[in-house]
Amino acid sequence: MRQATWFAPHPPYAARGEGCWVEDLDGRRILDCANNFFSLVHGHAFPPVVEALRRVVADGTAFGMPTRHETALAETIRSRSPRCEQIRFCNSGTEAVMFAVKAARAITGRPGIAKFEGAYHGSYDTLEVSLGFDPSN
């Protein structure tokens, strides 16, 4: 269960989404201010994204190896950010943060890290400390 979705007496369950709105299983329309922790910059079910997905899903949905689509996206990112020498795609923000911390430690040889106090940085054990903002911690 995601931490940010628990509300007493029970969490709402999403039935569908459109734009910035989510409809739950009880039929309530809820403004989605998080958009999957901001990974849905276009909102839910954005028609151009849905159409693009329809086109590529027929070729398969999950591979343990790179695809031409990932390569094209990486090349686009590199062309816009020439200082970006390497790109690693991840399945979640938690996974991205975990790899970033491991890479930083390996490159610098330092064990310590800095993080924002009271902020959520995914569910990676190393960063899942002091999630609540309080000067005492």
On whether residue 78 sits in a domain, the answer given is no
CATH of the domain at 39: 3.90.1150.10
CA distances from 38 to 22, 34, 128, 132 (A): 14, 6, 19, 20
Continuous segment of H or E residues that includes residue 21? strand 21-24
List, for residues 37-86, the tens digit of each pLDDT value: 777 889 999 999 999 999 999 899 888 888 998 999 999 999 999 899 88
On whether residue 111 sits in a domain, the answer given is yes
Q: Give yes or no: residues 55 and 91 share one domain.
A: no
pTM of the model: 0.62
Total of domains in the chain: 2
List, for residues 25-46, the tens digit of each pLDDT value: 999 999 998 888 777 889 999 9
Return the percentage of the chain with pLDDT > 90, whole number.
Answer: 45
On whether residue 70 sits in a domain, the answer given is no
On whether residue 65 sits in a domain, the answer given is no
Q: Give yes or no: residues 53 and 10 share one domain.
A: yes
What's the domain range around 135? 87-137
